[in-house]
Amino acid sequence: MPEQTLSVKVEPHVVYASSTPRDDFITEMKDADLASGSPKLPSQYKVAIEELESGANSESRTWEGRMRWVKGILAALFMGLVFGAVMDLGKVTLPLVIREQFIFRREIMLKMFLGASAGSAYCIAIVSLIFPAHFDRAREEFMGTLQCKGIVPIILGAFILGCGMCLSGSCPGMVLVQVGAGIPFSWLTLIGGLSAAALYGVLQPKIEPYLKTGKMKSPKFEDYGPLKKVPFWGLALALAVCMTIVVVILEVLFPWKKEVPAGTTPWKTALPPEFMGAIIGFLQVPAILLIQDTLGSSSAYMTYTSQPLTVCKNCQEVMKHLNGYRTGIINWWQAVYLMSAIGGAAIASNAAGTFREFQGVRPVEAFIGGFCAIFGSRLASGCTSGHGLSGVALLSLKSMFAVPAMFAGGIFVGFLFFTADPYNYTGRLQFPV
């Protein structure tokens, strides 16, 4: 009878405890990444194994682990401040801007999104050339979160996310920014999101068998056809250039100065959304180099809602998926990043004189929208930042399916809502508080 040892089955961000022979465990880990053909990160196995054996977070008990925490937290604080400030100054945080984007009345959100996605692609392409080891680690981290998901739940989750974005006039990364900028009822959007994260954590073990529907042979864009001969950086730069061209065309057709909402002044209380988006994209550099991860937001909601499990060991065993987000810098940096974004938005909105100056959606729309946005994000294993900024720039084929599905959900709800009740969809949002 083979010797039984405590081992773990690890997905990035998630730890599952099991008791298997060590040899079987090693074989399972090597075969786990069916998509990329490479084993998951050994350092993450080591941290997870030590944490389960000791009952404590091993990262905080080594010099290397402590330094990773310090670098990660400092980077997250800086990135969050920048993210919150530029999101507010780009005025994409206004529910009116989000809702009008989905019915093609205003292009601020699309320009900022494409600017951020293009900026991400430029930065990641350059990092892959100069710091290949950091790039490989960050890319494997991202791809690992998707390897156990089929394309069907990803598309469905992204569609639900888009529906939630339209209802709440927000998205997972934007909610905390809206709280900092004083957008009415944004705190209800946050509560809705936290409720969805907790529910998904409970339901995940029950729906797990269905999450593999539509498995892909490979999740990487460059693994198909003639693209195999093109290096990653070449494809990423080409994609970035294409998105830049689209942004330029949009700016020519829809000048940002003519699209800023009432109550804002170009260059004083509002700045070009495409440039603000590009700054967000540049945050990929500290994320990859200091944290060895890429931009994302929705996992933070799992980290927040998993904290009560700290006082209940039995609950940790029952809710293993949710518990996997409870500790570790790879989980906590996003939580700190979004909390810091509150401060960045508060500073920017107060400096611009726009704090609490704009309307929010109605309370029920805020809560339901926030719930749908986070539940959809977790089902899709990514949000507007995770799939839209990081996944697309990393040439994740699943992300390239998720982003159109996300916009499709928003457009679907947007036109239905606008047709049924135009006043409450956008009409009441056009007037300052």
Lowest-confidence segment of 111-125, 177-191, 225-239 by average pLDDT:
225-239
Each residue of 131-169: pLDDT tens digit?
999 999 999 999 988 888 899 999 999 999 999 999 999
Say what angle helices 95-102 and 151-168 make with each other, to 10 degrees: 120
With left for phi above 0 and alpha for psi between -120 and 50, is residue 171 left, alpha or beta? Answer: beta
Q: Kindly state whether residues 39 and 22 are assigned to the same domain.
A: no
* Alpha helices by DSSP H, 131-264: 132-146, 151-168, 174-181, 186-207, 232-253, 256-259
Place of tokens 């293009």: 118
Structural domain for 365, as ranges:
33-43+60-430
Q: Kindly state whether residues 108 and 256 are assigned to the same domain.
A: yes
Residue 49 forms part of a structural domain = no
Percent of the chain residues past pLDDT 70, beyond the cut: 86
Q: Kindly state whether residues 67 and 20 are assigned to the same domain.
A: no
More confident residue, 2 or 87: 87
Whether pLDDT at 191 is above 50 = yes
pLDDT at 27 (0 to 100): 40
Residue 55 forms part of a structural domain = no
Q: Kindly state whether residues 143 and 206 are assigned to the same domain.
A: yes
Q: Kindly state whether residues 107 and 236 are assigned to the same domain.
A: yes
CA distances from 363 to 100, 165, 227 (A): 19, 14, 48
Residue 3 forms part of a structural domain = yes
- Residue 89 bridge partners (DSSP): none
- Neighbouring residues of 108: CB distance < 8 A, sequence distance ≥ 6: 90, 91, 92, 97, 101, 256, 259, 260, 273
- Neighbouring residues of 311: CB distance < 8 A, sequence distance ≥ 6: none
pLDDT at 228 (0 to 100): 81
Q: Are 114 and 108 in contact (CB under 8 A)?
A: no
Q: Kindly state whether residues 2 and 37 are assigned to the same domain.
A: no
Residue 265 identity (one-letter amino acid):
T
Q: Kindly state whether residues 1 and 82 are assigned to the same domain.
A: no
Residue 54 forms part of a structural domain = no
Residue 53 forms part of a structural domain = no
Q: Kindly state whether residues 122 and 149 are assigned to the same domain.
A: yes
Place of tokens 């749908």: 372
- Neighbouring residues of 360: CB distance < 8 A, sequence distance ≥ 6: 95, 169, 178, 183, 184, 185, 186, 366
The DSSP element (H or E) to which 11 belongs, if any, is strand 4-11
291/338 Cα distance (integer angstroms): 15
Q: What would the mean pLDDT of 195-207 be, rounded to a whole number?
A: 94
298/201 Cα distance (integer angstroms): 13
Phi first, then psi, for residue 141 (nearest 5°) are -60, -45
Task: Look at residues 381, 384, 390 and name the one whose alpha carbon lies nearest to residue 291.
Answer: 390
Residue 165 forms part of a structural domain = yes
Residue 222 forms part of a structural domain = yes
Q: What would the mean pLDDT of 267-275 be, rounded to a whole number?
A: 97
Q: Kindly state whether residues 277 and 198 are assigned to the same domain.
A: yes
pLDDT tier, 43 (very low <50, low <70, confident <90, very high otherwise)? very low
Q: Quote the number of domains for the chain.
A: 2
Strand 14-21 versus strand 4-11 pairing type: antiparallel
Q: Rg of the Cα trace of the chain?
A: 21
Lowest-confidence segment of 35-39, 216-220, 325-329 by average pLDDT:
35-39
Lowest-confidence segment of 42-46, 152-156, 157-161, 396-400 by average pLDDT:
42-46
Lowest-confidence segment of 259-263, 273-277, 349-353 by average pLDDT:
259-263
Q: Kindly state whether residues 375 and 303 are assigned to the same domain.
A: yes
Task: Look at residues 170, 272, 239, 261 and name the one whose alpha carbon lies nearest to residue 389.
Answer: 239
121/412 Cα distance (integer angstroms): 28
Neighbours of 351 (CB within 10 A): 13
Lowest-confidence segment of 2-6, 24-28, 332-336 by average pLDDT:
24-28
Q: Are 174 and 87 in contact (CB under 8 A)?
A: yes
Instruction: Calculate the CA dihedral of residues 398, 400, 401, 406 and round it to 10 degrees.
Output: 120
Tokens of 190: 């946050």
- Residue 220 bridge partners (DSSP): 396
Q: Kindly state whether residues 88 and 150 are assigned to the same domain.
A: yes
Residue 48 forms part of a structural domain = no
Tokens of 61: 């008990």
Tokens of 149: 């998901």
Whether pLDDT at 14 is above 50 = no
Q: Kindly state whether residues 231 and 328 are assigned to the same domain.
A: yes
Task: Look at residues 216, 228, 240, 166 and name the one whose alpha carbon lies nearest to residue 392.
Answer: 240
Say what angle helices 186-207 and 299-306 make with each other, to 10 degrees: 80
144/399 Cα distance (integer angstroms): 13
pLDDT tier, 367 (very low <50, low <70, confident <90, very high otherwise)? very high
341/279 Cα distance (integer angstroms): 14
pTM assigned to the model:
0.86
